[in-house]
């Protein structure tokens, strides 16, 4: 059968789904992401020749290109169907460059959703390649290359080899570092609140002091509070005013990328990277058994809240059928996107309401289901009526002994009509109060303004102001978005980069800057104030948007950036502080020679070294307490001996976790991994140790490496294989099979399911009306 056309997408899974929709008349292939990029070994950009980029075929994509060229010989036309964003446009252009010599006719198609109707519609209305969008991506790539490849070598020379600077990631890191500086500089201030219990006709109710002579009360210490309570002890209280009103709360618009990442972090505990990985899978297509393969959500990289009118109509019909007409507004809810939003894209929504979450739950992994349910509920709720609350406020007043008018307020609100909250309630950060939270009904006696009430008891409570909270995924993405740093497609990679490069660490979901991250930020802020400036970075993002819209020339934008940057770079080479050579004096004495220690910088960060070096080579690890005081970390000795000098080994912390080192360092630099106590099955000398690869993945190998090369990816356990008698098994955990033991020998197929429910949460039958 002659083929009509070759359709090229980015991912194999998407290619598989689209192939089913288009049938055997078409050939559908995947580029598997970018096929060309700037070279790793050199700058690859020539500012003197109009910023001409030296794009090269990525070595691992040579075979992919050969397959695409081979397939293109069989068809008269090619459809470039890579993702509908700047990166996808760049991939389409690079594919076009590699295949255009064959004289074929090219089309550009944009799939906002991977469903059969959407795919067929896009194929029937092909477009041309968008040069403005490509130039915007190319300008971003060149900007990032210029910053990264020009600043990073400076950091290698001044701080540590192998670290890097990024145009956007460095600004995100600065936010984390600046927040930590705020927290450490914060001085708590004392303040007090006064709550009162009042009564009338035997009915008690609570109220809080909220105004003194019409202004916010200032209660800074206990003495002030005691004086206030004394002055009110005999004062008569009366009802000043009663206000009852109806309050409505409107639903939020359907998700854009940033809001999806924030809500998935708050409600589901997902990192931005995990959210985007799962969303990509939902977009590209899920096998629903007899129902076929379907893309379940629209394209997940968007900053636009626009929704297709047909989808809105479907949502309105669904709401009427499942919740009733009371929940449906007379006219569809319409939402306005922010300035510079890409209106060509829709908001993130389900592609079809034929697949409610509970219907297809058994086809989805647990986390994929939870994310799909979140997207579904948010979209449905966006087209529902507001929630209605009855709110009551009662103000009480008394004149204290000093002649000041003291006002107490009692408040309460009750949900009168659930509206959209029957489906979805927006999440909020710890410490924040949700707009949907209810105070509860305010139980009041029959009272009117002017009525006297009895003061039963006034209760003071002491509080202290709190430092600003450390960033979470949700709050950091929110600030990046509000400050215009990055774009929807970049937030996940920004957060991943600053963690992967060990500039920050995450503890209990919050970001802490590492010593390395703090040092790098301080150096870059001093030498490159524009690059580390939020407003400057946001301005660059806007200029990239202008390039995409065709209102700015990409070469002129780069030229405007490069000239001042080049001058700043030359100054930084001469003036940037050299942390490697820096020695900071301390008043801490060396216990070996009584000279003072100095703080020096090494591969693993700062440490204390004797100022009498090289006569005394004593070093100590240290940390700083909350007041910035140096605290020496005592050495943790073990009963193991150094294989080189027989001195005791001590436990030290390194880049990849704890390890053993000779206590006579730096005279002896012997190190050894901490072992699991399991003998190596390959040699008679070593033990198995847990190690971590440069990509952060744990593995297990013999501690006599490289003499013994035995290694495993899965954790070993001291239990021989009952089938082949190999001296150990490995432990593996998967979502589908749970906990299992298997033999690591390739020729042995022994596998035993130990606990099929290990690590799985109890399943619940979801309710169609359950809040997300």
Q: Which residues are catalytic?
A: 299
Q: CB burial class (10 A; 0-12, 13-18, 19+) of residue 350?
A: buried
- Which strand (E) or helix (H) includes residue 286? strand 286-287
Exposed/middle/buried for residue 552 (C-beta within 10 Å: 0-12, 13-18, 19+): buried
Could you tell me which of 682, 736, 743, 753 has the C-alpha nearest to residue 717?
743
CB burial class (10 A; 0-12, 13-18, 19+) of residue 338?
A: exposed
Query: What distance in Å separates the CA atoms of residue 227 and residue 284, rounded to the nearest whole number?
Result: 68
Q: Which conformational region is residue 486 in: left (phi greater than 0), alpha (psi within -120 to 50 degrees), or beta? A: left
CA dist 221 and 237 (Å) reads: 24
CB atoms inside a 10 Å sphere around CB 655: 12
| CA atoms of 755 and 741, how far apart (whole Å) | 10
Q: Say how far apart CA 420 and CA 389 lie, in whole Å.
A: 13
Distance CA 252, CA 375 (A): 12
Q: Where are the alpha helices (DSSP H) in 437-533?
A: 473-482, 491-500, 515-527
Residues 537, 479 contacting (CB under 8 angstroms): no
> What are the residues facing 204 on neighbouring strands?
199
DSSP 8-state secondary structure symbol assigned to residue 289: G
User: Using CA atoms, how far apart are residues 113 and 284, in angstroms rounded to an integer?
Assistant: 8
- Sorted by sequence, the CB contacts under 8 Å of residue 711 that are 6+ apart come out as 699, 700, 701, 702, 705
> Cα separation of 674 and 121, whole Å?
59
């Amino acid at each position: 059968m002659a083929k009509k056309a070759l359709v090229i997408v980015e991912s194999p899974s998407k290619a598989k789904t689209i192939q089913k929709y288009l049938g055997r008349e078409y050939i559908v292939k995947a580029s598997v992401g970018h096929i060309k990029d700037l070279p790793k070994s050199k700058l690859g950009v020539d500012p003197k020749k109009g910023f001409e980029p030296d794009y090269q075929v990525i070595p691992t994509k040579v075979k992919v290109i050969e397959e695409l060229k081979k397939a293109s010989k069989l068809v008269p036309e090619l459809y470039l169907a890579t993702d509908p964003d700047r990166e996808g446009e760049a991939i389409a252009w690079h594919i076009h460059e590699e295949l255009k010599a064959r004289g074929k006719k090219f089309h550009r198609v944009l799939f906002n959703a991977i469903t059969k109707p959407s795919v067929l519609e896009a194929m029937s209305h092909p477009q041309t390649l968008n040069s403005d969008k490509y130039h915007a991506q190319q300008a971003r790539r060149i900007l990032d290359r210029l910053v990264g490849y020009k600043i990073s070598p400076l950091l290698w020379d001044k701080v540590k080899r192998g670290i890097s600077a990024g145009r956007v990631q460095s600004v995100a890191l600065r936010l984390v570092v600046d927040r930590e500086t705020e927290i450490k500089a914060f001085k708590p201030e004392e303040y007090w609140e006064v709550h009162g219990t009042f009564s009338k006709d035997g009915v008690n109710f609570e109220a809080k002091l909220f105004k003194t002579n019409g202004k916010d009360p200032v209660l800074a210490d206990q003495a002030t509070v005691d004086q206030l309570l004394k002055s009110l002890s005999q004062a008569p209280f009366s009802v000043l005013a009663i206000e009852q009103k109806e309050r409505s709360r409107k639903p939020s618009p359907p998700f854009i990328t940033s809001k999806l990442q924030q809500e998935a972090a708050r409600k589901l505990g997902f990192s931005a990277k995990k959210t985007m990985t799962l969303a990509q899978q939902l977009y590209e297509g899920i096998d629903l058994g007899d129902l076929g393969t379907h893309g379940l959500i629209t394209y997940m990289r968007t900053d636009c809240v626009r929704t297709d009118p047909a989808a809105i109509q479907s949502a309105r019909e669904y709401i009427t059928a499942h919740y009733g007409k009371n929940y449906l507004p007379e006219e569809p809810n319409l939402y306005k996107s922010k300035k510079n939003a890409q209106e060509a894209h829709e908001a993130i929504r389900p592609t079809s309401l034929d697949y409610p979450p509970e219907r297809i739950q058994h086809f989805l992994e647990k986390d994929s289901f939870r994310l799909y349910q979140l997207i579904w509920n948010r979209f449905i709720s966006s087209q529902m009526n507001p929630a209605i609350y009855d709110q009551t406020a009662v103000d009480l007043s008394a004149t204290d002994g000093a002649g000041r008018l003291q006002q107490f307020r009692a408040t309460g609100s009750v949900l009168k009509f659930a509206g959209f909250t029957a489906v979805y309630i927006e999440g909020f950060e710890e410490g924040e109060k949700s707009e949907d939270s209810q105070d509860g009904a305010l139980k009041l006696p029959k009272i009117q303004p002017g009525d006297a009430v009895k003061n039963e008891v006034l209760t003071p409570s002491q509080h202290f102001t709190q430092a600003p909270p450390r960033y979470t995924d949700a709050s950091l993405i929110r600030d990046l978005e509000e400050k215009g740093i990055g774009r929807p497609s970049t937030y996940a990679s920004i957060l991943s980069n600053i963690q992967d490069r060990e500039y920050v660490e995450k503890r209990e979901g919050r970001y802490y800057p590492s010593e390395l991250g703090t040092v790098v930020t301080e150096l870059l802020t001093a030498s490159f104030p524009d690059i580390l400036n939020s407003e400057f970075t946001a301005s660059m993002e806007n200029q990239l948007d202008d390039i995409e819209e065709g209102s700015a020339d990409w070469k002129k934008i780069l030229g405007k950036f490069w000239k001042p940057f080049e001058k700043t770079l030359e100054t930084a080479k001469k003036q940037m502080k050299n942390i490697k050579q820096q020695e900071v004096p301390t008043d801490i004495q060396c216990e070996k020679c009584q000279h003072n220690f100095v703080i020096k910088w090494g591969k693993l960060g700062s440490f204390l070294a004797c100022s009498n070096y090289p006569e005394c080579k004593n070093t100590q690890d240290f940390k700083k307490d909350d007041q910035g005081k140096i605290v020496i970390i005592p050495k943790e000795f073990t009963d193991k001996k150094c294989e080189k000098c027989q001195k005791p080994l001590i436990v030290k912390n390194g880049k990849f976790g704890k390890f053993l080192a000779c206590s006579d360092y730096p005279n002896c630099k012997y190190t050894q991994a901490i072992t699991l106590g399991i003998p190596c099955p390959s040699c008679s000398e070593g033990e198995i140790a847990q190690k971590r690869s440069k990509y952060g993945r744990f593995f297990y190998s013999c501690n006599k490496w490289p003499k013994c090369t035995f290694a495993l990816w899965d954790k070993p356990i001291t239990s021989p294989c009952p089938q082949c008698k190999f001296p150990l098994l490995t432990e593996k955990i998967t979502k589908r099979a749970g906990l299992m033991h298997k033999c690591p020998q390739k020729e042995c197929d022994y596998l035993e399911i130990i606990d099929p429910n290990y690590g799985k949460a109890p399943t619940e039958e979801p309710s169609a009306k359950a809040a997300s």
